[in-house]
Amino acid sequence: MSAKKTTNKAATKTPKAVAKKQQVVKPVRPKAAANPKKQSAIDAAARVLAESSEPMTTRAMIERMATQGYWNSPHGQTPSATLYSALAREIKMKGKNARFTKAGRGKFVAKA
């Protein structure tokens, strides 16, 4: 019967190979300031509602965001429904700390 020979791979590495592995330098990524982040739909909605003096529907917010250049839909089929969901989710999750409140059926207003 033949006996299997087991070797410890960690013990077989030479100090030269270990030193070579430690010298690998990762490339540096450009800073975030060079590429300004796009504004999200919910952040643009907060800006539009803050500028507005009356409650707005999500469809009106989407139109105003597009005309003012704050945010454009990336060719989604129902951006107003997506925005409505995001606003409702923030109100539910953050409660009193949310940036929005419901001001009636389908209408939102920015908190003062």
Q: pLDDT tens digit string along 43-82? A: 999 999 999 999 999 999 999 999 999 999 888 999 999 9
Give 104 or 2, the one with higher predicted confidence.
104
Residue matched to tokens 């989604």: 76
d(CA 86, CA 52): 19
- 82/98 Cα distance (integer angstroms): 17
Q: If you count them, how many residues does the chain have?
A: 112
pLDDT of residue 37: 75
92: confidence class by pLDDT, cuts 50, 70, 90: very high
Contact (Cβ atoms closer than 8 angstroms) between residue 64 and residue 54: no
Query: Pick from 109, 112, 91, 103: which is nearest to 48 by CA?
Result: 109
Pick the residue with more confidence: 71 or 36? 71
Task: Please provide the CATH number assigned to the domain covering 40-110.
Answer: 1.10.10
Q: Provide the whole-model pTM.
A: 0.66
CB atoms within 10 A of CB 76: 12
